[in-house]
Amino acid sequence: MLGGDCILCRKIGSLPQAASPDCIFEFPQSVLFLGPWQYYRGYCVLVARWHATELSQLAPQDRHAHLEEMCLAARAIEDAFRPKKMNYELLGNQVPHLHWHLVPRYADDPDFKHPIWVAIDRAKDDKSALRRLEQGSSDRAETARILRNQLAALMARRS
Amino acid sequence: MLGGDCILCRKIGSLPQAASPDCIFEFPQSVLFLGPWQYYRGYCVLVARWHATELSQLAPQDRHAHLEEMCLAARAIEDAFRPKKMNYELLGNQVPHLHWHLVPRYADDPDFKHPIWVAIDRAKDDKSALRRLEQGSSDRAETARILRNQLAALMARRS
Protein backbone atom coordinates (compact mmCIF):
# COMPACT_ATOMS: atom_id res chain seq x y z
CA MET A 1 0.00 0.00 0.00
CA LEU A 2 1.44 3.36 -0.95
CA GLY A 3 0.14 6.54 0.69
CA GLY A 4 0.30 9.74 -1.38
CA ASP A 5 1.10 12.00 1.58
CA CYS A 6 3.97 9.94 2.96
CA ILE A 7 7.45 11.00 1.89
CA LEU A 8 8.80 7.48 2.38
CA CYS A 9 6.04 6.01 0.23
CA ARG A 10 7.02 8.53 -2.45
CA LYS A 11 10.69 7.62 -2.04
CA ILE A 12 9.90 3.94 -2.48
CA GLY A 13 7.57 4.72 -5.38
CA SER A 14 10.32 6.65 -7.19
CA LEU A 15 12.59 3.64 -7.49
CA PRO A 16 14.16 1.73 -9.44
CA GLN A 17 17.55 1.88 -7.89
CA ALA A 18 19.20 3.61 -10.87
CA ALA A 19 17.20 6.73 -10.10
CA SER A 20 18.66 7.12 -6.60
CA PRO A 21 22.39 7.21 -5.90
CA ASP A 22 21.58 6.59 -2.22
CA CYS A 23 19.74 3.35 -2.83
CA ILE A 24 21.98 0.55 -1.58
CA PHE A 25 19.86 -2.56 -1.93
CA GLU A 26 16.32 -3.57 -2.78
CA PHE A 27 15.08 -6.36 -0.52
CA PRO A 28 11.69 -8.00 -1.11
CA GLN A 29 10.09 -6.24 1.88
CA SER A 30 12.19 -3.11 2.24
CA VAL A 31 14.78 -0.89 0.59
CA LEU A 32 18.10 0.18 2.07
CA PHE A 33 19.29 3.77 1.53
CA LEU A 34 22.48 5.46 2.62
CA GLY A 35 21.51 7.80 5.47
CA PRO A 36 22.22 11.49 5.94
CA TRP A 37 24.75 11.49 8.81
CA GLN A 38 27.91 10.00 7.34
CA TYR A 39 30.13 10.97 10.26
CA TYR A 40 28.77 7.53 11.21
CA ARG A 41 30.25 5.98 8.10
CA GLY A 42 27.85 3.52 6.56
CA TYR A 43 24.76 4.81 8.40
CA CYS A 44 21.74 3.56 6.48
CA VAL A 45 17.99 3.78 6.66
CA LEU A 46 15.96 0.66 5.86
CA VAL A 47 12.50 1.61 4.60
CA ALA A 48 9.56 -0.82 4.45
CA ARG A 49 8.06 -1.09 0.97
CA TRP A 50 4.49 -0.81 2.31
CA HIS A 51 2.97 1.89 4.44
CA ALA A 52 2.65 0.72 8.04
CA THR A 53 3.36 2.73 11.15
CA GLU A 54 3.98 -0.02 13.70
CA LEU A 55 5.54 -3.49 13.65
CA SER A 56 2.39 -4.74 15.39
CA GLN A 57 0.39 -3.99 12.22
CA LEU A 58 2.31 -6.57 10.21
CA ALA A 59 1.34 -10.18 9.71
CA PRO A 60 3.82 -12.45 11.53
CA GLN A 61 5.50 -13.70 8.34
CA ASP A 62 5.89 -10.15 6.97
CA ARG A 63 7.31 -8.94 10.28
CA HIS A 64 9.75 -11.82 10.38
CA ALA A 65 10.90 -11.13 6.81
CA HIS A 66 11.21 -7.40 7.50
CA LEU A 67 13.30 -7.98 10.63
CA GLU A 68 15.49 -10.49 8.79
CA GLU A 69 16.20 -7.81 6.18
CA MET A 70 17.04 -5.39 8.99
CA CYS A 71 19.55 -7.93 10.33
CA LEU A 72 21.06 -8.56 6.89
CA ALA A 73 21.47 -4.84 6.23
CA ALA A 74 23.11 -4.29 9.62
CA ARG A 75 25.39 -7.28 9.06
CA ALA A 76 26.58 -5.80 5.76
CA ILE A 77 27.38 -2.48 7.48
CA GLU A 78 29.29 -4.36 10.20
CA ASP A 79 31.23 -6.48 7.71
CA ALA A 80 32.08 -3.46 5.56
CA PHE A 81 33.20 -0.98 8.21
CA ARG A 82 33.85 -2.94 11.41
CA PRO A 83 32.27 -0.45 13.84
CA LYS A 84 32.71 -0.82 17.59
CA LYS A 85 28.91 -1.11 17.98
CA MET A 86 25.77 -1.13 15.87
CA ASN A 87 22.76 0.94 16.87
CA TYR A 88 19.29 0.00 15.60
CA GLU A 89 16.45 2.48 15.92
CA LEU A 90 12.87 2.32 14.76
CA LEU A 91 11.42 5.73 15.63
CA GLY A 92 9.06 7.28 13.07
CA ASN A 93 7.94 10.18 15.26
CA GLN A 94 8.36 12.56 12.34
CA VAL A 95 7.65 10.19 9.46
CA PRO A 96 5.38 7.37 10.69
CA HIS A 97 6.27 4.86 7.99
CA LEU A 98 8.30 1.89 9.23
CA HIS A 99 12.00 2.60 8.82
CA TRP A 100 15.09 1.58 10.74
CA HIS A 101 18.08 3.76 11.42
CA LEU A 102 21.07 1.41 11.24
CA VAL A 103 23.98 3.32 12.71
CA PRO A 104 27.54 2.04 12.99
CA ARG A 105 29.30 3.63 15.96
CA TYR A 106 33.07 4.07 16.07
CA ALA A 107 35.51 4.14 18.96
CA ASP A 108 36.97 7.54 17.97
CA ASP A 109 33.59 9.28 18.29
CA PRO A 110 33.79 11.54 21.39
CA ASP A 111 30.03 11.03 21.81
CA PHE A 112 30.26 7.28 21.35
CA LYS A 113 28.38 6.53 24.56
CA HIS A 114 25.28 8.44 23.50
CA PRO A 115 22.73 7.88 20.74
CA ILE A 116 23.64 9.99 17.69
CA TRP A 117 20.63 12.28 18.19
CA VAL A 118 22.29 13.97 21.16
CA ALA A 119 25.27 15.14 19.05
CA ILE A 120 22.96 16.12 16.19
CA ASP A 121 20.72 18.12 18.54
CA ARG A 122 23.70 19.90 20.12
CA ALA A 123 25.01 20.80 16.66
CA LYS A 124 21.72 22.15 15.34
CA ASP A 125 22.74 25.82 15.62
CA ASP A 126 26.27 25.27 14.34
CA LYS A 127 26.37 24.83 10.59
CA SER A 128 29.95 23.62 10.43
CA ALA A 129 29.34 21.00 13.14
CA LEU A 130 26.21 19.85 11.34
CA ARG A 131 28.11 19.64 8.06
CA ARG A 132 30.82 17.57 9.76
CA LEU A 133 28.20 15.12 11.01
CA GLU A 134 26.49 15.04 7.65
CA GLN A 135 29.53 14.59 5.44
CA GLY A 136 31.95 12.61 7.55
CA SER A 137 35.41 12.10 6.10
CA SER A 138 34.64 9.60 3.35
CA ASP A 139 33.20 9.96 -0.11
CA ARG A 140 29.49 9.17 -0.06
CA ALA A 141 29.50 7.40 -3.40
CA GLU A 142 32.44 5.24 -2.31
CA THR A 143 30.68 4.30 0.93
CA ALA A 144 27.57 3.36 -1.08
CA ARG A 145 29.67 1.29 -3.49
CA ILE A 146 31.34 -0.64 -0.66
CA LEU A 147 27.98 -1.35 0.96
CA ARG A 148 26.41 -2.53 -2.30
CA ASN A 149 29.30 -4.93 -2.85
CA GLN A 150 29.09 -6.18 0.72
CA LEU A 151 25.37 -6.83 0.44
CA ALA A 152 25.75 -8.55 -2.89
CA ALA A 153 28.38 -10.86 -1.37
CA LEU A 154 26.26 -11.50 1.71
CA MET A 155 23.19 -12.34 -0.34
CA ALA A 156 25.21 -14.56 -2.67
CA ARG A 157 26.47 -16.59 0.32
CA ARG A 158 22.87 -17.08 1.46
CA SER A 159 21.44 -18.23 -1.87
CA MET B 1 26.67 -17.30 28.95
CA LEU B 2 26.86 -14.91 31.87
CA GLY B 3 29.73 -12.45 32.16
CA GLY B 4 30.76 -11.38 35.66
CA ASP B 5 31.62 -7.81 34.67
CA CYS B 6 28.38 -7.06 32.85
CA ILE B 7 25.69 -5.29 34.86
CA LEU B 8 22.94 -6.74 32.69
CA CYS B 9 24.29 -10.26 33.15
CA ARG B 10 24.21 -9.62 36.89
CA LYS B 11 20.66 -8.26 36.64
CA ILE B 12 19.52 -11.37 34.79
CA GLY B 13 21.45 -13.57 37.20
CA SER B 14 19.70 -12.00 40.20
CA LEU B 15 16.25 -13.14 39.12
CA PRO B 16 13.67 -14.76 39.86
CA GLN B 17 11.04 -12.18 39.25
CA ALA B 18 9.98 -11.92 42.89
CA ALA B 19 13.32 -10.35 43.70
CA SER B 20 12.79 -7.41 41.34
CA PRO B 21 9.72 -5.18 41.40
CA ASP B 22 10.73 -3.90 37.96
CA CYS B 23 10.67 -7.30 36.32
CA ILE B 24 7.60 -7.43 34.08
CA PHE B 25 7.91 -10.73 32.27
CA GLU B 26 10.37 -13.57 31.81
CA PHE B 27 10.49 -14.75 28.21
CA PRO B 28 12.55 -17.80 27.23
CA GLN B 29 15.25 -15.67 25.54
CA SER B 30 14.96 -12.37 27.36
CA VAL B 31 13.51 -10.58 30.37
CA LEU B 32 11.38 -7.44 30.32
CA PHE B 33 11.97 -4.77 32.94
CA LEU B 34 10.18 -1.50 33.55
CA GLY B 35 12.57 1.23 32.40
CA PRO B 36 13.80 4.31 34.23
CA TRP B 37 12.06 7.15 32.32
CA GLN B 38 8.38 6.79 33.19
CA TYR B 39 7.39 10.17 31.71
CA TYR B 40 7.09 7.74 28.78
CA ARG B 41 4.58 5.63 30.67
CA GLY B 42 5.23 1.95 30.13
CA TYR B 43 8.82 2.41 28.88
CA CYS B 44 10.54 -0.95 29.24
CA VAL B 45 13.92 -2.49 28.61
CA LEU B 46 14.07 -6.00 27.18
CA VAL B 47 17.32 -7.71 28.18
CA ALA B 48 18.67 -10.82 26.45
CA ARG B 49 19.29 -13.70 28.85
CA TRP B 50 22.72 -14.44 27.37
CA HIS B 51 25.66 -12.12 26.92
CA ALA B 52 25.97 -11.04 23.30
CA THR B 53 26.82 -7.59 22.05
CA GLU B 54 25.37 -7.69 18.53
CA LEU B 55 22.37 -9.34 16.85
CA SER B 56 24.77 -10.69 14.24
CA GLN B 57 26.37 -12.92 16.90
CA LEU B 58 23.16 -14.89 17.38
CA ALA B 59 22.20 -18.08 15.59
CA PRO B 60 19.26 -17.40 13.23
CA GLN B 61 16.71 -19.23 15.36
CA ASP B 62 17.83 -17.43 18.54
CA ARG B 63 17.72 -14.07 16.77
CA HIS B 64 14.26 -14.80 15.46
CA ALA B 65 13.01 -15.81 18.92
CA HIS B 66 14.62 -12.76 20.52
CA LEU B 67 13.03 -10.39 17.99
CA GLU B 68 9.67 -12.07 18.41
CA GLU B 69 9.89 -11.41 22.15
CA MET B 70 10.77 -7.79 21.39
CA CYS B 71 7.59 -7.56 19.28
CA LEU B 72 5.44 -9.21 21.95
CA ALA B 73 6.75 -6.90 24.65
CA ALA B 74 6.13 -3.82 22.47
CA ARG B 75 2.66 -5.08 21.60
CA ALA B 76 1.80 -5.38 25.29
CA ILE B 77 2.94 -1.80 25.91
CA GLU B 78 0.85 -0.61 22.95
CA ASP B 79 -2.23 -2.53 24.07
CA ALA B 80 -1.90 -1.31 27.65
CA PHE B 81 -1.25 2.39 27.11
CA ARG B 82 -2.24 3.20 23.49
CA PRO B 83 0.69 5.50 22.69
CA LYS B 84 0.75 7.56 19.53
CA LYS B 85 3.95 5.80 18.44
CA MET B 86 6.33 3.11 19.64
CA ASN B 87 10.08 3.64 19.50
CA TYR B 88 12.44 0.64 19.45
CA GLU B 89 16.12 1.16 20.14
CA LEU B 90 18.96 -1.31 20.41
CA LEU B 91 21.97 0.80 21.40
CA GLY B 92 24.34 -0.71 23.96
CA ASN B 93 27.03 1.93 23.67
CA GLN B 94 27.33 2.09 27.45
CA VAL B 95 26.36 -1.47 28.31
CA PRO B 96 27.18 -3.73 25.38
CA HIS B 97 24.79 -6.54 26.28
CA LEU B 98 21.81 -6.89 23.91
CA HIS B 99 18.88 -4.90 25.23
CA TRP B 100 16.04 -3.03 23.60
CA HIS B 101 14.60 0.24 24.77
CA LEU B 102 10.86 -0.03 24.06
CA VAL B 103 9.48 3.47 24.42
CA PRO B 104 5.85 4.46 24.04
CA ARG B 105 5.54 8.04 22.82
CA TYR B 106 2.52 10.17 23.58
CA ALA B 107 0.89 13.02 21.68
CA ASP B 108 1.08 15.45 24.62
CA ASP B 109 4.88 15.20 24.82
CA PRO B 110 6.28 18.57 23.62
CA ASP B 111 9.35 16.69 22.38
CA PHE B 112 7.31 14.01 20.67
CA LYS B 113 9.10 14.42 17.35
CA HIS B 114 12.51 13.65 18.79
CA PRO B 115 14.03 10.50 20.29
CA ILE B 116 13.75 10.63 24.09
CA TRP B 117 17.51 11.03 24.51
CA VAL B 118 17.35 14.63 23.34
CA ALA B 119 14.99 15.64 26.18
CA ILE B 120 17.00 13.59 28.67
CA ASP B 121 20.25 15.21 27.55
CA ARG B 122 18.77 18.71 27.76
CA ALA B 123 17.51 17.98 31.28
CA LYS B 124 20.78 16.58 32.58
CA ASP B 125 21.69 19.71 34.59
CA ASP B 126 18.17 20.29 35.88
CA LYS B 127 17.30 17.92 38.68
CA SER B 128 13.58 18.70 38.70
CA ALA B 129 13.30 18.17 34.93
CA LEU B 130 15.19 14.91 35.24
CA ARG B 131 12.92 13.81 38.06
CA ARG B 132 9.86 14.65 35.97
CA LEU B 133 11.16 12.46 33.13
CA GLU B 134 12.06 9.70 35.54
CA GLN B 135 8.87 9.60 37.58
CA GLY B 136 6.16 10.60 35.12
CA SER B 137 2.71 11.08 36.55
CA SER B 138 1.74 7.46 37.25
CA ASP B 139 2.60 5.07 40.02
CA ARG B 140 5.44 2.82 38.95
CA ALA B 141 4.06 -0.28 40.65
CA GLU B 142 0.67 0.28 39.01
CA THR B 143 2.26 0.64 35.57
CA ALA B 144 4.18 -2.59 36.17
CA ARG B 145 0.99 -4.37 37.29
CA ILE B 146 -0.90 -3.27 34.17
CA LEU B 147 1.93 -4.43 31.92
CA ARG B 148 2.20 -7.81 33.65
CA ASN B 149 -1.53 -8.38 33.19
CA GLN B 150 -1.36 -7.31 29.56
CA LEU B 151 1.51 -9.66 28.83
CA ALA B 152 -0.16 -12.54 30.62
CA ALA B 153 -3.30 -11.98 28.49
CA LEU B 154 -1.28 -11.67 25.29
CA MET B 155 0.67 -14.87 25.99
CA ALA B 156 -2.53 -16.71 26.94
CA ARG B 157 -4.08 -15.80 23.57
CA ARG B 158 -1.02 -17.18 21.80
CA SER B 159 -0.89 -20.52 23.61
Q: What residues in chain B have per-residue pLDDT under 70?
A: 1-4, 17-19
Chain A residues within an 8 Å CB radius of B68: 64
Domain containing A41: what range? Answer: 7-158
Tens digits of residue pLDDT in A85-143:
999 999 999 999 999 999 999 999 999 999 999 999 999 999 999 999 999 999 999 99
Whether residue A39 lies inside any domain: the answer is yes
Q: Single out the residue of A106, A107, A113, A96 nearest to residue A37, CA to CA.
A: A106
C-alpha A89/C-alpha B144 separation (Å) is 24
ipTM summary value: 0.95
- pLDDT more than 90, % of chain A: 88
Q: Which residue has the higher pLDDT, A159 or A153?
A: A153
Number of domains in chain A: 1
- With an 8 Å Cβ cutoff, is A121 touching chain B? yes
- With an 8 Å Cβ cutoff, is B123 touching chain A? no
Whether residue B1 lies inside any domain: the answer is no
User: Do B114 and A121 form a contact (C-beta atoms < 8 A)?
Assistant: yes
Whether residue A144 lies inside any domain: the answer is yes
Q: Single out the residue of B94, B109, B98 nearest to residue B40, CA to CA.
A: B109
Question: If pLDDT is split at 50, 70 and 90, which confidence band does A21 have?
Answer: confident
Q: Which of residues 13-42 of A touch B (CB under 8 A)?
A: none
Question: If pLDDT is split at 50, 70 and 90, which confidence band does A159 have?
Answer: confident
Q: Which helix (H) or strand (E) holds B85?
A: strand B85-90
Q: Single out the residue of A100, A106, A108, A136 nearest to residue A24, CA to CA.
A: A100
For residue B3, what pLDDT is reported? Answer: 53
C-alpha A87/C-alpha B51 separation (Å) is 17
Q: Supply the DSSP symbol for A93.
A: S
β-pair partners for A48? A30
CB contact under 8 A, A93 and B115: yes
Chain A residues within an 8 Å CB radius of B88: 55, 88-90
Whether the pLDDT of residue A77 is over 90: the answer is yes
- With an 8 Å Cβ cutoff, is A114 touching chain B? yes
Whether residue A1 lies inside any domain: the answer is no
Whether residue B145 lies inside any domain: the answer is yes
- CATH at B128: 3.30.428.10
Statement: the pTM of the whole predicted model exceeds 0.90: yes
- With an 8 Å Cβ cutoff, is B90 touching chain A? yes
Whether the pLDDT of residue A36 is over 50: the answer is yes
Provide the b/e sequence for A81-120 (b: ≥16 CB within 10 Å): bebebbbbbbbbbebbbbbbbbbbbeeebeebebbbbbbb
Whether residue B2 lies inside any domain: the answer is no
For residue B16, what pLDDT is reported? Answer: 74
Whether residue A2 lies inside any domain: the answer is no
Mean of pLDDT values over A39-47: 98
- With an 8 Å Cβ cutoff, is B93 touching chain A? yes
Whether the pLDDT of residue A18 is over 60: the answer is no
For residue B21, what pLDDT is reported? Answer: 87
Whether residue A63 lies inside any domain: the answer is yes
The backbone region for A82, taken as left when phi is positive above 0, alpha when psi lies in -120 to 50, beta otherwise, is left
